[in-house]
Chains A and B, each alone.
Chain A
Amino acid sequence: MALASDMPKAGFRPSMLLYDTRYRSLTIQVVVLMLFMAGVAWLVDNTVRNLAALGKDFNYGFLWQRSGYDISQRLIEYSSDSTHGRAMLVGLLNTFLVSAIGCVVATVIGVIAGVLRLSKSWIVARLMTLYVEVFRNIPLLMWILLFYAVVTEAMPPPNAFRGDDAASSMILFDSVAITNRYTAVPDLLFSRSLGSLELGYVSLNINLVLLIAAVVGGVLANRALLRRATRIQEATGARPTTWWQSLALLFGPTLGVLAGLGFHLGYPELKGFNFVGGINVSNSLMTLAAALAIYTGAFIAEFVRAGILSVSQGQTEAAYALGLRPGRTMSLVILPQALRVIIPPMISTYLNITKNSSLAIAVGYLDLRGTLGGITLNQTGRELEAMLLMMLIYLAISLAISAVMNVYNASVKLKER
C-alpha cells in the first residue's frame, strides 16, 4: 500500500550546493573562507618577499634596545638610556593622561552646555548653540593649531616676567604664569610627606595612595549614608536631610589627609631663565587637552540635549499631575530615562577622544603614536612591527571601552514585551 503522497527521495546533486537552501549558505561560507584565506596568504607572501628584498626581518627585539632620545613630558621615570619599550610605555601613559583630562573636562563642558542650551534664557541658549555649531563644523586640527599658535606666539617668554617693572605679570594672585613654552602652575607639595615605595618597575607614591584611599573611603561612606537615609524613608516616610553630612563625608577625609601630610602649594618663581618651584606644564599638553575638551564638549552637549529632549513631555506632565516638584521630577523621572540615551554615545565619544589624541603630532606632544609610531619607528626602521603593535594597542583600548558600553547598555535595558 504505497502512499501517493510519499516524497521521492532525491539523491545528492552538485547543483544542490547552490540552489538548495540547506547547502547554499554553507557553500557561500566555504567560498568566502577560501577567498579570505587566499587574500591573507597573498598579503603575507608579498610582505615576506618585500622584507627579504630589503634585507629586514620581523622581530620585536628593538623594544629592549636603548632608545637614545629624550621625552620631556612624562609621567614615569625615563631617560635616553631607557629602552624603546619604556619609551612606548611613556607614550602610552601620555596618551592616557591627555585623554583622561580631555574626557573629564569635555564631560563637564558638554553637560553644562547641553543643559544651558535648553535654558529658557534666549541669549544663553543662542550662545550655546553658537558654541556647538562653530566647534562641531570646524576640524579639530584647526583648533589644536590655533590654540597652540596663540599660546606660543602671543604669550611672553619667561624672561618678560623678570623684575619690578616686568612686561608681563602672573595671573590668579601671582600663582600662574603663561609663557610661550610652558605654563607654570603651583606644585602640590607635602611638608610631612611619607615618601615612596619602590616596587621594582614602578615606584608607588604613598601620599597619592593615602589620598586615593581617603577619596574612595569618603565616597563609600556617602553611599552608606544615602542607603541609611533611604531605609529611614522607606520605614517612616520622612527622608532625613543629608546634604551637609554628604559634603562632610565626601570632603572631610580628603581634607584631613591633606592637612595631616602638610599640604601646601609650591609657587613658581623666576630663577635664572625659567620658573622653578612649581610644575611647568608643557604648552603642547595644555593646548592639546584644551582643544580636545572644548571640541568634544560640543558633541557631548548635543548628546545631552538630545537625551533630555528624548524624554517625552508627557512624562513631566504626569509627574507634575501627581504633585511631584520639578526637582524631584528631574531626578526621579527625567534623568534616569535621559541617561539611558545619553551615556552610550558619550562612551563612544570617550573612545573618539582617545583616538583623536593621536593628533598630538601637530603640537609635538609625544603620545603613543609619537614615540612608538614616530621616533622609535624612524630610528629603528622597524615600520611594520611598530605600526602593527601600535594599532593593536589602540584596538585593545577601543575594545575595552566598547565592552564597558555593552555592559552598561545591557544593565539598563528597558524591559519590553
Chain B
Amino acid sequence: MPNTAIDRKIDRSQMQVSDEIAIEITGMNKWFGTFHVLRDIDLVVQRGERIVIAGPSGSGKSTLIRCINRLEEHQTGRIVVDGTELTSDLKNIDKVRSEVGMVFQHFNLFPHLTILENCTLAPIWVRKTPKKEAEAIAMQYLEKVRIPEQAHKFPGQLSGGQQQRVAIARSLCMRPRIMLFDEPTSALDPEMIKEVLDTMIELAQEGMTMLVVTHEMGFAQAVANRVIFMDQGQIVEQNEPREFFNNPKSERTKLFLSQILGH
C-alpha cells in the first residue's frame, strides 16, 4: 500500500458526484507530426468527480489534460467542456479557459509580478473586475492556501511548495468549475509535497471537479473517486481506487503498479 501520510480525516460530505456532465471526450485522436500520441480517447467526467490519471511517462496523460483547455489541439474527435465544444473558434476557447483552471508541474508563476498581482492579473484583464474587488478575492484565496502574508513578495522569494500553492490560488481566483493538475508535486522537494496535497484535498472536499495527473497514489486512495490508467496514448483501465489498487485487471496495470508501489 502507498505510504504517503494522508492520515487526517477526510470530510466526504461535499464530495458528491452529480449527474451533470462536465467534460465529454469522444473518439479523440491526436498526433504530434506522425507520432500518434492519443488514440481513440473516450472519456466522460461528471461534475464533482475527482479523477486521478496515472501511467508511465510518454503515455500521453499530460497531453490529454492539455487538450481539455486547448493548450494542445486535437485532430479528430470531439471535446465538449461544460457544454461548449472545443474547436478553433476563439470565442469557444476563451469560454472554456475561463471555466477551467490549470496547475502546472513547474508552477509557471509570473516572476516580475508580486504574488498578489499574479492572482489579480487574470480577473482584472479577462473578467474586467475592478482592482479592489480582485485584490479582495485574491487575498481570500491566498488565505485559503494559507499564505496570505506573502502577498507582496515575489515568486523568486518563495519556496517551491509555497509557489505551487500560489499557483493553485491564482487559478482559483478565476472561479473555475473544473481544475486540471499536471503533475503538481513532481517538481517539489519531499517535505513540501504534503502542503500542496493538503491544499488539493481541501479543494476536493469542497466539491471541485478535478483531473489530476500524478504519481501520488496516497492522494488517489484518499480522495479520488476514479483512477484511470493510460499507456501508449490510450485508456487501458479505469476503476474506483480500492478496486484499482487491489484488483488490477490488465497485465499492463499490474506491471505499472508493481513498479511504482514496489519501493
Contact = CB atoms under 8 A, between A and B. Distances in A.
The answer to whether any beta carbons of A and B sit under 8 Å apart in the complex is yes
B164 interface: no
Contacts of A237: 124, 127-131, 133
Given A234-B132, A235-B131, A414-B154, A324 B108 contact: no
B110 A323 contact: no
A205 to B, nearest CB: 42
A29 interface: no
Nearest to B94: A323
A317 B71 contact: yes
Contacts of A340: 112
A323 B122 contact: yes
Interface string A231-242: 001111111000
Contacts of A318: 102, 104, 108-110, 167
A234 B125 contact: no
A323 B126 contact: yes
A24 interface: no
A14 interface: no
Contacts of B130: 233-237
Given A320-B97, A323-B122, A238 B128 contact: yes
Interface string A390-417: 0000000000000000000000001111
Interface in A318-342: 318-325, 328, 332-333, 336-337, 340
15 contacts: A237-B128, A237-B129, A312-B108, A314-B108, A318-B104, A319-B110, A320-B69, A321-B171, A322-B101, A322-B126, A322-B170, A322-B174, A333-B110, A336-B112, A414-B111
Contacts of A321: 69, 71, 97, 100-102, 104, 171
A344 to B, nearest CB: 15
Interface of A: 233-239, 312, 314-315, 317-325, 328, 332-333, 336-337, 340, 414-417
B157 interface: yes
Interface of B: 69-71, 94, 97-98, 100-102, 104, 106, 108-112, 121-122, 124-133, 153-154, 156-157, 167, 170-171, 174
Contacts of A336: 112
A9 to B, nearest CB: 47
A42 to B, nearest CB: 51
Report whether over half of chain A's contact residues are helix, strand or loop; otherwise say mixed: helix
A315 B102 CA distance: 13
Contacts of A325: 94
Given A314-B104, A336-B112, A322 B122 contact: yes
B238 to A, nearest CB: 25
A316 to B, nearest CB: 9
Nearest to A331: B125
B71 A320 contact: yes
Contacts of B153: 415
A414 B70 CA distance: 31
B124 A315 contact: no
Contact of B171 (A239, A322, A332): A322
B21 to A, nearest CB: 22
Nearest to B90: A325
B170 A415 contact: no
Contacts of A322: 97, 101, 121-122, 126, 170-171, 174
Contact of B125 (A328, A415, A416): A328
B118 to A, nearest CB: 9
Contact of A337 (B112, B128, B131, B132): B112
Contacts of B104: 314, 317-318, 321
A315 B125 contact: no
A164 to B, nearest CB: 59
B111 A323 contact: no
Contact of A415 (B106, B154, B167, B171): B154
Nearest to A412: B112
Nearest to B128: A237
Nearest to B97: A323
A207 B61 CA distance: 68
